[in-house]
Chains A and B, each alone.
Chain A
Amino acid sequence: MKANTNTHIVVIGNGMVGYKFCEKLLAKKKNDQEFMLTVFGEEPRVAYDRVHLSEYFAGKTADDLTMASKEWYDQHGIRLFLSDPVVDIDTEEKLVRSHHGHVVHYDYLIMATGSGAFVPSIPGVEKDGVFVYRTIEDLELIQSYARKAKRGAVLGGGLLGLEAAKALLDLGLEEAHVVEFASRLMPRQIDDAGSKILQNQLESLGLNIHLAKSTQEIIGDDCIKGMQFNDNSFLDVDMLVISAGIRPRDELAKIAGLETHPRGGIIVDNALRTSDPYIFAIGECALAHHMIYGLIAPGYEMADVVASALTGVDKEFLPYDMSTKLKLIGTDVASFGDPFVEEPACKTIRYENKAKGIYKRINVSPDGKELLGGILVGDAEQYNMLLQTCKNKTILPPDSEDLILGSRGGEEAGGGVMSLPDDALICSCEAITKGMLCKEVGEKGHNTIDLLKKSCKAGTGCGGCVPLVKDIIQGVMKQNGQYIKTVICEHFDHSRQELLDLVKMNGLKTYGEVLNEFGHGDGCEVCKPLVASVLASLWNENVLTKDRAPIQDSNDRYLANIQKGGTYSVVPRIPGGEITPDKLIVIGQVAKKYNLYTKITGGQRIDLFGAHVNDLPLIWEELIDAGFESGHAYGKALRTVKSCVGSTWCRFGVQDSVSFAIEIEDRYKGIRAPHKFKSAVSGCIRECAEAQSKDFGIIATEKGWNLYVCGNGGSKPQHAQLLASDVDKETCIKLIDRFLMFYIKTADPLTRTATWLNKMDGGLSYLKAVVVDDLLGLASAFEEEMQALINNYKCEWKEVVDSPELRKRYNHFVNVPDKDPTIAFEEMRTQKRAKEWV
């Protein structure tokens, strides 16, 4: 819907939501839009903050609570009529008539009439000394009556009732009582056990709580003298505040013939339109999704939805999360999600500490994977974290009680970077310590890699510290209580895992499609390689075809490792480190022909350095002819599966480690992951292949194989941990399939398996539960997805060599066949080396 120029909008109701609507409409108004706004309010005051009404008794003035002054309405050309409720609406002629006789035409009418206090029909409610708790006028009346009263009661033990009870205490009454019909306090938010703890806290502050009390009659002549209950008990009070709920103000809507609900509320659709398309209803008078939203946040959201619609942006009002956290007379109370769901629909975990006045309850789905809801009384520190876990359906760690109790010894889920001392050197290129980074992030607010690169140059050198720096940013933000969603970069508001799922579900295969569907802007050096990796991990198509060549990172772009000086190195695959003399000779011949420096790598293969980009296809042509394949030394993919010689030659060996290593390397070659991954197979317990330093390592036993995972050499060495012992080959491979797919699908970008595990909630026991015990029920899917990747494997270098189109890109210049004339070498130990850079 788009409003025409000079649209007349009338707002009925000048409460918080009515005011918020005006504010949002002005903010969203586009240059070519003109609105004539007229607001009618029943109360004599401009809109004020009703949520903090009880602060009026704690010394705040009516002015303090005001949302915006009368001048604000003048400045923005809004006509404001106070103490002048609308009494009639002519929907045919689109006119409203006010109590004082103002008749105003509207194009669109906004009903923001709010709610009134619900007063139950108890005999005697009309007596003097009985009040409702809704407006500043109500408060003024309560205040003046309280001067001569000694004992006060509040009818209603909900949120507002408890606020009112506190107000009575603040007003200096000798006794303050809370009378609740239900068997617990705040029955809509907390359960019996939580109520008991809250009751203890409130009683210790001097409130008297009466639960399960049904009031029969209010006793007294003209003035209230007491309350008579159904159970024949009697409460001696000289004033009463009724706070038994709200009643939507829908009487005007009824007069106008708008559809209302028998139990109250103006019925609206998802766009908040009433049964008349030119009339909207927002706030507590509106019945959306079959309910009245009696909180301010959904009211504001409704104001936003209608303001958007009138300025030409269609938006829906979605069922709103009613989770709340508040401080009630010094006691934290929070409830989120579904706080009341009972077994067997959930598993409930409760923690109660009467001495400290703390009660916590969480409801976990029967399979233990999801947080359904919960209640916190006395200590709501974890509220935000729990709410996010619940809303985002984050998969829970196996010991979900840790969510409310914290980890209690045993297996810590990795200390992480935040446990490092302040003087730990993080960026060694720029000599920046953890302490310096914490300061940059915490005090100066430099909380992105780019900001840090600019402010202190961290990560601008070799870039190796960037993942650690990111962890520090997150760690500091977490300590400061900021919620962090790990987004990829400015072009994608998703985490890698989310994007992978989206790309998979939508079957996207090019970067352009992914950016168009799920991103914005033109991409960058962060999201391009990430999407490239996701596409490769999902479909395993050649990384240089379609639009994918220019999105590959430096090495993948040319399927070779760029080295100092701009030449490349070449690593043919030598599975398990086993090679024939003939193949060795070919490597030697190729190295000689193209003048390449040769070196045995740490992974039992041979690296050929100093190749001009123009020579790469020629070099590979010869290697492929001799039966070699790409070694993927340039990719975030399986590197090498190192092996010891094993039982075929070694007198100690108990299994044939070389054969198994070759089988493993052939199985997983070419599969791309969030980071490179390495493996090794040792033929006996002596562990000569150093399998426990690999992403997955296999060690032979007398009975079969032990599988270790998430080890790492590199800058922060970490031993791999035992995932399964004495398994046969087939089982071992199945477990590796699942382990790798779980890693590929869930790890953050450029995160090795060791770091991935360190960050995983629940650590190794959770990993085991997923991979070995199939906690998530995904094992067979993981195996199938892995098999699909394996089936799709082709040597990508062979594809390049065979394609003139792809070969064409292997030239330094696009206009002449020359090699880069600036490349220079120096001699060292009869071979060449790259010239040192200045």
Chain B
Amino acid sequence: MTTRTELHAEPPRASLLARLLDSDLFYSFTRSPVTVVAAIVTLVYITAALCAPLISPQNPFDPATLNLLEGFTPPMQPNEFTSKVFWLGTDAQGRDIFSAILYGSRVSLLVGFAAVGFAAVLGIGLGLLSGYVGGWVDAFIMRVADVQLSFPAILIALLIFGVFKGIVPPAMQDRVAIYVLIVAIGLSDWVQYARTVRSSTMAEKNKEYVQAARVIGVPAPLILVRHILPNVMGPVLVIATIGLALAIILESTLSFLGVGVPPTQPSLGTLIRVGQDFLFSGEWWIVMFPGAALLILALSVNLLGDWLRDALNPRLRG
């Protein structure tokens, strides 16, 4: 009732941009300098990763561009043989760390976004199904979700990886590893979407407009997509943002453990894994810069997610 009156009280139809700029969401965004910085960092980071071939000084994974003489060059110091300067130094093979980070971020972001997309599609689908159909379908899906939720994502992802290693012939493993990684991370993180979507679906499906749509013969999938889905986009966005940070961290962790992407296609985690060996001999930059890059990326995305959750759910605002 009240919402209806309020809706009528609003001025009729401003443009989308104007409404966005006037919204509480945008207001709370501009009021939080940390969030603005996080958003900018995330955007710059993603752009840099996408444009890696254009900005990076060398293609770090084309052996032709590497010069072994340039190995172990410390950051910002000219190499003693070629006197080339590398901002963030080089690794054992003379690979420019800055370029490696850019290329590595591509892999990390690709896996992260793809895994979140996979998890979201799977979770939303199962959630809609579970909430709309109900009955034993619902009971079964939610039981599986409960059991899975009680195990940490890393364990599930590792297990899926273990199975993959057992099934796929070693020769093919490097080629499909990245897809397996996406599926493994995605499968370990669908539950939250499903739960959220399910509860909204159950609340929404008995509302009059959904009933009315059903009465006039709108097919169920259309009802779900047209009427119910928009209602859950807010929470889904929050879960997805925080999920992106989690996926990036999980990917780097798996790669660090040596079960992630193959070394020919290193992500940030792989770079850290390789760099860790040089920590004791004093070449700290090989591991620290990729580590810092990973932290900045995960932190920015987490900050965005944190803000989004608070902004969309004022009750929880702390």
A and B physically associate: no
Give A contacts to B, CB under 8 Å.
Answer: none
Give B contacts to A, CB under 8 Å.
Answer: none
